[in-house]
Structure 1
Amino acid sequence: MKPNFSFLFKLLILQYLAVLSISQEFDFFYFVQQWPGAYCDTKQSCCYPKTGKPSADFSIHGLWPNYNDGSWPSNCDPDSVFDKSQISDLISNMEKDWPSLSCPSSNGMRFWSHEWEKHGTCAESELDQREYFETTLKLKQKVNLLRILKNAGIEPDDGFYTLESISEAIKEGTGFTPGIECNRDSARNSQLYQVYMCVDTSGSNLIECPVLPRSKCGEQIQFPKF
């Protein structure tokens, strides 16, 4: 009896698609906000967007699918390219809350395209392109880090604060433990750079982080002016 090569081929294709779909599922999102004062106070420096200097507030870095073991998927669908027409009515909010500080100065499109193609395409099982950006903007409104920190007496005044006090203030304000990432300025000061909050796969609800990124922070953290 001859083997049915057509059937075997179809079986292999189905197995491949099953593996592909599994590899693109994820367990939670990191919602990451960055402090522009720390981003700009590094060797690489920064360039303000073409719309001008952003406000002295935390800005969105991204919404990143992650696995519970600390790894993450990326660039899941090379055919799903960024399409600004899908978010045309969100652009003004994105310019305000999700500005690009990289050089050369830009209108943000390259930054947003990178975030969609690297991270957003791995969330397409839950959020289409418009939903991805809209959901991230809503999270920014929900997690007002600057207000939370100021309410705890932690101000962007070049002062130094303990990692514990910053973490506790954010936990008090949101109900969940944040991940804190620092960078170092030219004087080797540890600075408050990025804050990671964890979000369920719908992008709607904050959750306790299954795994937190390494902080790379000293005991005393500077909150630089911007």
Structure 2
Amino acid sequence: MAGSKALPSFCFLLCAASCALAAAASVDYMILSLKWPGTGCQPGWNRKPTCCVDPLINSPEMDFLVEALETYDSVTGERVANCEPICRFLINPLVDLIDDLYAYWPSLSCPAQNGMQKWRTAWCTYGNCTGLSQVNYFGRALQLRAKADVLHALGSKAIIPSETKSYSLDDIEEALVTKIGFSAVVVCTTEIGVLSQQYLLSGVRICVSADGRFLITCPFPRKSNCGSKVKFYPFTDDMLGRPRHPAADHIKLPSNKAIAQ
């Protein structure tokens, strides 16, 4: 009997301690995570597309795309997430950003989605930890992606997508420093071949100021998981499993009531 009475008190104290730790965590920098779809959208073993896009919207740009704008605490170096127990996401405030979101922050999951669930997840996981409005959170992420301009940064050093060519990780990192002004973390996935393991460029992670306005040096050193040689596969429309649809130029937004939760 004594044990059963003590249990609720213990649970309450444990919850209080957890909530205090969560409250103590502060967001004082972010990481912009950009992905290269040429790697993630490689066809599967049956040659079917592994990436899908809603046929009623435009294809994403053939470029590095926003995967997330994550929030971090520079004291601990840990990610800060899910700061609000009840998250409210409204699509209508983003009406002026919608075309850019479809182009540079799309959902590529299969079966095809229109991207709104992806944006809601980003906002509820990280956005509401920032103190920014939805418009500023998404708008500044898009602006930072354009400012980093990773594809052109690599291209300026003759590092261009290729089915066959490999590039030096040092050259990739140097090209990014030249453009961004700071080091960025190059992220790879691995492909196991008959004779060797290959590293495929899958993304770039760049540290960002807490207000989402500036690219900065990361407070904590972060290393690439790539090998010394990296492949940079092309990204093409046929990887998305459908042609561009003529109705893509007209997109009707759902109401706030339909998307808010």
Q: TM-score, normalised by structure 2?
A: 0.74
Match of 2:41 in 1: 40
Match of 1:177 in 2: 183
Matched letter for residue 196 of structure 1:
R
Match of 1:22 in 2: 24
CA shift in 2, pair 1:155/1:216, >3 Å: same
Distance across 2 between alignment mates of 1:66 and 1:225: 32
Q: Does the 8 Å CA contact 2:58/2:102 hold for their aligned counterparts?
A: no
How much does 1:22 deviate?
Answer: 2.4
Distance across 1 between alignment mates of 2:72 and 2:190: 26
Q: Does the 8 Å CA contact 1:42/1:186 hold for their aligned counterparts?
A: no
Query: Match of 1:197, SS?
Result: strand
Match of 1:209 in 2: 218
Matched letter for residue 103 of structure 2:
K
Q: Does the 8 Å CA contact 1:178/1:195 hold for their aligned counterparts?
A: yes
Query: Match of 2:88, SS?
Result: coil
Which of the numbers 63, 86, 99 marks the counterpart of 2:93?
Answer: 86
CA shift in 2, pair 1:185/1:99, >3 Å: farther
Which of the numbers 181, 195, 201 marks the counterpart of 1:192?
Answer: 201
Query: Match of 1:192, SS?
Result: strand
How much does 1:18 deviate?
Answer: 6.9
Which of the numbers 147, 156, 163 marks the counterpart of 1:151?
Answer: 156
How much does 1:53 deviate?
Answer: 3.6
Q: Does the 8 Å CA contact 1:49/1:99 hold for their aligned counterparts?
A: no
Q: Does the 8 Å CA contact 1:179/1:213 hold for their aligned counterparts?
A: yes
How much does 1:42 deviate?
Answer: 7.2
Matched letter for residue 184 of structure 2:
P
**Aligned sequence identity (%):** 32
Structure 2 unpaired stretches of 5+: 1-16, 236-261
Distance across 2 between alignment mates of 1:52 and 1:138: 20
Match of 1:67 in 2: 73
Structure 1 unpaired stretches of 5+: 1-14
Match of 1:133 in 2: 138
Distance across 1 between alignment mates of 2:38 and 2:136: 29
Distance across 1 between alignment mates of 2:217 and 2:170: 17
Alignment of 1:105-120 (within 5 A): 105-120=112-127
Distance across 2 between alignment mates of 1:98 and 1:22: 31
Distance across 2 between alignment mates of 1:53 and 1:208: 33
Distance across 1 between alignment mates of 2:167 and 2:87: 43
Query: Match of 1:157, SS?
Result: coil
Match of 2:147 in 1: 142
1:65-117 CA-partner distances (Å, limit 9, x unpaired) = 11233311111113222211121221111001111111111110011111111
Distance across 2 between alignment mates of 1:47 and 1:186: 25
How much does 1:52 deviate?
Answer: 4.7
How much does 1:20 deviate?
Answer: 4.9
Match of 2:174 in 1: 168
How much does 1:225 deviate?
Answer: 0.8
How much does 1:218 deviate?
Answer: 1.6
Query: Match of 2:102, SS?
Result: helix
How much does 1:149 deviate?
Answer: 0.5
Distance across 1 between alignment mates of 2:212 and 2:145: 12
Match of 2:231 in 1: 222
How much does 1:154 deviate?
Answer: 0.3
Relative contact order, CA 8 A, sep 6+: which one is greater? 2
1:4-45 CA-partner distances (Å, limit 9, x unpaired) = xxxxxxxxxxx998765422x112110111101011127693
Query: Match of 1:190, SS?
Result: strand
Task: Give every structure 1 segment of 4 or more consecutive aligned residues whose post-TM-superposition deviation is greater than 4 Å.
Answer: 15-20
Q: Does the 8 Å CA contact 2:30/2:72 hold for their aligned counterparts?
A: yes
Match of 2:245 in 1: none
